[in-house]
Amino acid sequence: MIDTAAPLASPSEYADAVATAVQAAAAYYADGATPLGDDEYDALLKAVAAYEDAHPDQVLPDSPTGKVAGGAALGDVPHSVPMLSLDNVFSAEELETWAAGLERRLGRPVTAWCVEPKLDGLAVAARYRAGRLHQLITRGDGLAGEDITHTADAVLGLPAELAEPLDLELRGEVLLTQDQFDHANRIRADHGATPFANPRNGAAGTLRAKDRPYRIELTFFAYDAVGPDDLAHSALLDRLAALGANTAATTAARPRPCEGVQEVQQRIDEIAALRAELPFGIDGVVVKADLAADRAEAGSGSRAPRWAVARKLAAQHKVTRLLGVEWNVGRTGIIAPRAVLEPVVIDGVTVTFATLHNPADIERRGLMIGDQVFVYRAGDVIPRVEAPVLDARTGAEQPIAFPEACPRCGDAVDSSEQRWRCVRGRNCQAVASVLYAAGRDQLDIEGLGGTRAVQLVEAGLVADLADLFTLTRDQLLTLERMGETSADNLIAALATARTQPLNRVFCALGIRGTGRTMSRRIVAHFGSMAAIRAADAETLAGVDGIGTEKARVVAAELADLAPLLDRLADLGVGTAVTVPTAPAAVAGESGTEGGTEGGEGEGAESDGGPLAGEAVVVTGSMTGALADLSRNQMNELIEQAGGKASSSVSKRTTLLVAGEKAGSKRAKAEELGIRILTPEEFAALVAAHLPA
């Protein structure tokens, strides 16, 4: 494979690079199945261009430089006006140089700029006659494209009829959102088809597909039009939205007019920070001269307009080799596969491992050891393997071996569900279960760390959560390096853990499908452990956000945990009762199993409070009275004060608590007009509910 980062030192290397780039472009613009990631392709083009600058007499006629879509000739429907590509810049310095060059060409400063996300999909032209969609065409080589009108009815955001009876040509990007991509791969799996490697690959293949026995929805975003020539670009986007076309104005990364390059750079940084939260992929940010007069005066070259440029962002998709698969056992006995990868840098991070979800997912994707695979990473999300590059297979690839026994204890494997599990369940990973239960956001048992948990399990003193509350001082003193002070401190910490709110006890159980947030919701909904245990799957599904599938898992887990829950109840752990937020006509709900939680129970939101009806998001570092609270404690505080805690800003959010270095969530809240409080202002609002 060509080293895309190395300079080209000879005519033969240059010829190989041109051939590789042409092949990659043809695949990329045909079905998205290119063997190169975005970064590698960009680096290869830069190397080709650099060689051609130094050796102009050796330029090959099929070189991709200076050509729209890298010279990939696709389709035979002529465009009314050429659909050009964009030149790229890769740093703030390169952007400043480009902007300065444009202003020199104009002989004056650019009046205004418009900054918008560069969507990672396929460019199309949609022709309307008298307001009705007449034809949908791919960009192709910029001069002619392919007629894909047969797919138009599956493209959301592309109106079949405009709000006015105009002759107009919309230009925009068709893509798969992440939800559409996941849904598309489920549909393909149901029909025995190979999963799409990534959303762009899926969009390209779907737009060109004919006679499929299933339908896959895509999304259209308009970014230009042929017809209205005298509008500022920002005004044109507003006009297109008024006509019924979907635009990026509906997203957090919406286009925004800017004055001066400094403000442009700031908006680029804001959009880049939003990247991981967007429901679709972007591979850069587009900067355009906003006013029509500036654009007309700047003009266009044969490949790209002179008044617009793409500020490329680091790729989140890369191609690397799958070297192996490790099978790890989690605290609940789940046997999870993990991909071992040839190290690859994605978005500035070296990735050597990635998630593979479960055995069924491996089979659905058709992965083999030795495959070249697409790897995806967005922001802080764990990298995942998406699909193999089938055209890169050599025949030397080997099937992935699935475990026939539990990799940890050697017992049998329950493979009846998609996620395989050791038949011993939590007993297979007692240390992990104990450590999870003792964690700060669960029972917060100070002094119970990894070494101590291993000692307790290996000594036979602890096999599950309930055993922790039967420990005696004399038992602890038998452990190596356990002095009297340490033993007393641990006994005291365990006594404190007995009084933790019910949501923390429930979370400490480590039930599949639940975590800190869902545990709070379940406890708030039912009010007591007895009511939770008495609920069937249908009743559990009534909890906000749990859903029928997760409810079924939780109900089954609660049944499996019945002996443990009985022992905890006998020990007085998790027996507190609060007023539920929803009626739960089940036995034990109104019992007196240990009284209330002194006004700090999870059911407090039913009694109103300063945050009643509020949907609250916390971001940044807290200060003042909130400085020592973990994010989980902040969420508990919100719900005790009557609000609902959330991790992401959306139109449903009503309040953002923004600490130091708040970042993209604050920017999104400002765009949506959401009320924003400092930590000090929020602390004053919920003062009555602050921990002592």
Tokens 């990473």 belong to residue: 377
Sort 438 into a burial class: Cβ within 10 Å, 0-12 / 13-18 / 19+: buried
Does residue 651 have an active-site annotation? no
* Of 597, 577, 581, nearest in space to 644 by CA: 581
Sort 374 into a burial class: Cβ within 10 Å, 0-12 / 13-18 / 19+: buried
Cα gap 350→562, rounded to integer Å:
44
- Axis crossing angle, helix 38-54 with helix 11-30, rounded to the nearest 10: 140
**H/E element, 234:** helix 233-242
- Answer whether 651's CB lies under 8 Å from 672's CB: yes
Q: Which residues contact 82 (CB under 8 A, 6 or more apart)?
A: 68, 142, 143
Give the SS3 label for residue 434.
helix
Distance (Å) of CA 210 to CA 133, 213, 545: 19, 9, 37
Cα gap 103→399, rounded to integer Å:
58
- Catalytic option among 67, 118, 312, 644: 118
The DSSP letter of residue 614 is -
Distance (Å) of CA 31 to CA 24, 183, 207, 389, 558: 11, 19, 9, 12, 47
* DSSP of 541-600: TTSTTTHHHHHHHHHHHHHHTHHHHHHHHHTTSS------SS----TTTT--SS---TT-
Tokens 């192709």 belong to residue: 140
Report phi then psi at 325, rounded to 5: -135, 130
| CA angle, residues 494, 495, 496, in degrees to nearest 5 | 90
Q: Which residues contact 35 (CB under 8 A, 6 or more apart)?
A: 1, 24, 27, 319, 372, 389, 391, 392
For residue 572, how many other CB atoms are within 10 A of its CB?
A: 13
Q: Six-digit token pair at 219? A: 């999304």
Sort 665 into a burial class: Cβ within 10 Å, 0-12 / 13-18 / 19+: buried
* Of 425, 434, 484, 491, nearest in space to 458 by CA: 434
Cα gap 111→297, rounded to integer Å:
12
Q: Six-digit token pair at 615? A: 């949907």
Tokens 């957090």 belong to residue: 252
- Answer whether 648's CB lies under 8 Å from 669's CB: no
Catalytic residues, which ones? 118
